[in-house]
Every structure is written in C-alpha cells, then in structure tokens.
C-alpha cells in the first residue's frame, strides 16, 4: 500500500472516530438534556435598596424596602435604558406568603447580588443591540405581580401587600438616576413580571414625555385563560390573588368595568388597552404554562421525545387556543409577536444569546426584537412547527454540530 493510501485510510479512521464519539455524546446529552444554555460572560451586580421606599409604604412582604440591581450604560448607550421586572410565581394565601416572606422573593434582607447575562450582557458580540445600555433588574418581593396595594397590615402575620407601590417607588428613584433623560427606554418583564410590564406600559410612557422611543415587552408571561378541557389553575390563582393583594385597583378600569378583575389578569383580555408599543415573546409550549394548564409533568415527554399521539393532539389543541389569544397581526408596529415552539420558559436571559436555540427560520428572538424596537422591521412571527420541540435537545444538537465543525478543523490535512 502506498504512503498516500495509508495516510488517506488513517484520515478516514480519525474522521470516523470523531463523528462516532460526538454521536455518542449527543445521544447522551439529548436523552438527559444534559446541556446548559450559553451564558455571555455572566457577571454579578450587587443590589441597591430603594431610598425612601418605607416612608411611601412601598415594601416587600416582610416590610423590608424593595431592591434592584443597576448597571450603568456607557458609550452611545449611556442614555438608553432597559428596566426589567423579575418573575417568580405568586403567593395566593396568607400561609404561602408567610413562607415566601422568609426568602429572597419576599424580603430584600435575603437578597444577594444578581447575575447579568443574555439581554443584560456587556458582551457586544453576543448582545450587540443592548450591551451598553443602562440596565435595571427590579427584584420581585411582593408575591402579587407588582399589583398589590393593601393599607392594612395584620399584626399577627405582619405581611405587606404593596407591589403596586413598589413599582412606583422604584420608578421615582430611576427617574432621578437618569431615566428621565433617556433617549430610548424599554420596560420588560419575564414570567410573573410579564403581565405588570404590560399593565404599567402606558404609565411608563407617561413618565418619559421627552423620550422619543418607549416600548415594552412581555417575555414568557402570556398565560392564557385556557378553559375546559384544560385546567383552570390560572383563573383560580388570579381570583385568590386579587382578593389577598387588593390588586383590582391596579387593573385598567376599561377592563374591570366589563369583566371580573381576575379575568383582567389575562393578557388576552387586557392587551387591547395598551396603547404603547408592546412586544410579546413566548413559546406556544411554555414550560410553566403547559405544566399548569395541561398536566403536571407534561414537559417530561417532550424532553424524552416519547409523547403519545393523544398527548400530541392535546398539544395541538392548546397551541390553537394560545395563538387565538394573541393580538391579531394587523398592526405589528404596535403589537409585535415572536412565538416559537421550543419547550422553555423565559428568554431574555438564558435563551437570548445567538449561541442558543430560540430561532424561527434562522431568525433569533434577539434579532427580531431589536429590529422591532428600532423600527427596522415590525415582527409578527409564529413558528410553523406545530408540536413542541425540546429546547435543550435542540441546543444539544447545535452543540454537537459545533463540536464536529471544530474538530474537523483540527484534522490532519493530506495532499
């Protein structure tokens, strides 16, 4: 056998070894979803306690002052602001709120620094449109989605339901910090923070009368009123929430005059009253939503790729109801939409990077949203893939291909 033929055979053997090894790695990763979304140089930002909040009655569940994390903008982003409302479910009973008050979700005394990544990253290559903005991450410590306003404090529990006051107190402080001179501003919220980002969107606009561009985003907080045969968990939740937290007065009167307050917690019933441009980013199969609206543990079969035909039919019915609840695509400048079919929850942090897999026809959420925000293209995109896709499984496949490409570059070259 000639030297050239021997080397060629060696090359094929090495190539096969690389491909086979990566295939094994991918099988394990996809099966166990043993992958982690890429984090663009995540870094920790210390908390800032809101001054004068206690005197305004704007306090966490345990009576401690609210807090946020602030990273100043720089360069041409020095007068642009991202204000994010954090999520973390809700507490609907006194007992649940008491338990919550003993955690960082109910007391600023227990909050540590927060890590900034994704849309909050300072990495220009991974976050080119927002990397140098002023970034504010408002901690969620009231349990009522920033909507509560109850004056009375039960001396037995010492619980405070003051979420609406927290939002306004933080805004007062941010305005003095430089928000009032912003050239562009975005109010965003994820999960339980998504609805209040919609609720206070127009109010946020009125705070910035001299800011040319003010918009809002609901990230993974578009929970629908699924109705039968689906579970009524969200209706039951919102009914209890309105009662305990006194949330009704924070809701639009245009809505509460037509239906009961708990129904106004559903974005589909409230979105028509939002006049400021709003962007909705979600999965049609949001992990939190389908776990509560379809069945507990339903996400498992998606990750394992073994959902039954009956389950898949249920998914299709839920997807249809979800899409019907969205704003109609008649004016995407006012109501932009990016709905994928990946089974995940919340995107502005862990699934924001272009290295991760929230794409629809090669369009990433980060690109679609930036184009919409800057009026370059008004996005209304819905994934045509009708059944849910494992987000981590898709990420594992992307990682497999990246490793294969990298290893191919290191293969010996023969001439």
* 375 carries an active-site annotation: no
**CB atoms < 10 A from the CB of 92, how many?**
20
Distance CA 211, CA 227 (A): 41
Distance CA 385, CA 389 (A): 8
Q: Across the chain, which distance is largest between two alpha carbons, in Å?
A: 91
Q: Which residue out of 64, 191, 293, 353 is catalytically annotated?
A: 191
Place of tokens 């790729």: 305
CA distances from 131 to 32, 75, 120 (A): 33, 10, 7
* 345 carries an active-site annotation: yes
**Using an 8 Å Cβ cutoff, are 321 and 363 in contact?**
no
Distance CA 396, CA 376 (A): 32
**Using an 8 Å Cβ cutoff, are 122 and 43 in contact?**
yes
Q: Hey, what's the torsion of the CAs at 394, 395, 399, 400, to 10 degrees?
A: -20
Phi first, then psi, for residue 205 (nearest 5°) are -65, -40
* 149 carries an active-site annotation: no
Cis peptide before 316, with omega less than 30 degrees from 0?
Answer: no
Q: Which residue out of 160, 345, 366, 383 is catalytically annotated?
A: 345
CA distances from 294 to 21, 31, 224 (A): 38, 23, 12
Q: Which residue out of 149, 172, 219, 286 is catalytically annotated?
A: 286
Phi first, then psi, for residue 68 (nearest 5°) are -150, 170
The full DSSP string for 228-290 is TTS--HHHHHHHHHHHHHTGGGGS-HHHHTTS-GGGGGSHHHHGGG--S-EEEEEETT-HHHH
214: three-class secondary structure by DSSP: strand
CA distances from 168 to 48, 58, 175, 236, 290 (A): 16, 8, 11, 27, 32
The full DSSP string for 53-74 is TGGGT---TTSPPPEEEEE---
Distance CA 192, CA 184 (A): 24
- Geometric angle at alpha carbon 362, from 356 and 367, rounded to 5°: 70
* Active site residue ranges: 191, 286, 345
């Amino acid at each position: 056998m000639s030297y050239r033929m021997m080397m060629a055979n060696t090359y094929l053997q090495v190539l096969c070894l690389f491909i086979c090894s990566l295939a094994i790695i991918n099988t394990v990763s996809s099966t166990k979803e043993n992958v982690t979304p890429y984090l663009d140089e995540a870094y920790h930002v210390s908390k800032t306690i809101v001054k004068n909040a206690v005197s305004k009655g704007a306090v966490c569940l345990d009576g401690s002052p609210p807090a946020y994390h602030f990273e100043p903008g720089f360069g041409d982003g020095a007068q642009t602001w991202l204000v994010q409302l954090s999520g973390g479910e809700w507490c609907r009973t006194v007992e649940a709120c008491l338990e919550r008050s003993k955690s960082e979700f109910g007391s600023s005394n227990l909050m540590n620094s927060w890590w900034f990544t994704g849309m909050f990253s300072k990495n220009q290559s991974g976050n080119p449109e927002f990397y140098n903005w002023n970034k504010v991450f408002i901690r969620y410590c009231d349990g009522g989605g920033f909507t509560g306003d109850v004056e009375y404090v039960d001396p037995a529990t010492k619980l405070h339901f003051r979420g609406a006051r927290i939002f306004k107190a933080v805004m007062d402080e941010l305005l003095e910090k430089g928000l009032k001179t912003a050239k562009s501003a975005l109010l965003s919220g994820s999960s339980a923070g998504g609805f209040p980002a919609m609720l206070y969107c127009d109010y946020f606009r009125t705070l910035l009368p001299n800011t040319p561009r003010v918009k809002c985003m609901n990230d993974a907080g578009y929970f629908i009123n699924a109705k039968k045969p689906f579970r009524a968990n969200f209706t039951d939740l919102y009914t209890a929430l309105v009662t305990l937290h006194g949330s009704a007065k924070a809701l639009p009167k245009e809505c509460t005059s037509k239906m009961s307050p708990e129904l106004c917690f559903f974005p589909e019933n409230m979105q028509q009253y939002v006049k400021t441009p709003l962007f909705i980013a979600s999965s049609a199969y949001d992990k939190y939503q389908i776990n509560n609206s379809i069945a507990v543990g339903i996400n498992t079969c998606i990750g394992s790729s073994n959902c039954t035909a009956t389950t898949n039919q249920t998914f299709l019915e839920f997807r249809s109801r979800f899409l019907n609840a969205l704003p109609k695509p008649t004016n995407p400048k006012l109501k932009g939409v990016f709905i994928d079919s990946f089974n995940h929850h919340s995107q502005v942090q862990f699934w924001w990077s272009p290295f991760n897999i929230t794409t629809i026809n090669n369009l990433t959420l980060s690109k679609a949203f930036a184009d919409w925000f800057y009026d370059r293209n008004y996005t209304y995109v819905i994934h045509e893939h009708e059944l849910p896709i494992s987000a981590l499984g898709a990420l594992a496949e992307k990682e497999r291909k990246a490793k294969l490409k990298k290893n191919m570059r290191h293969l010996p070259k023969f001439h």
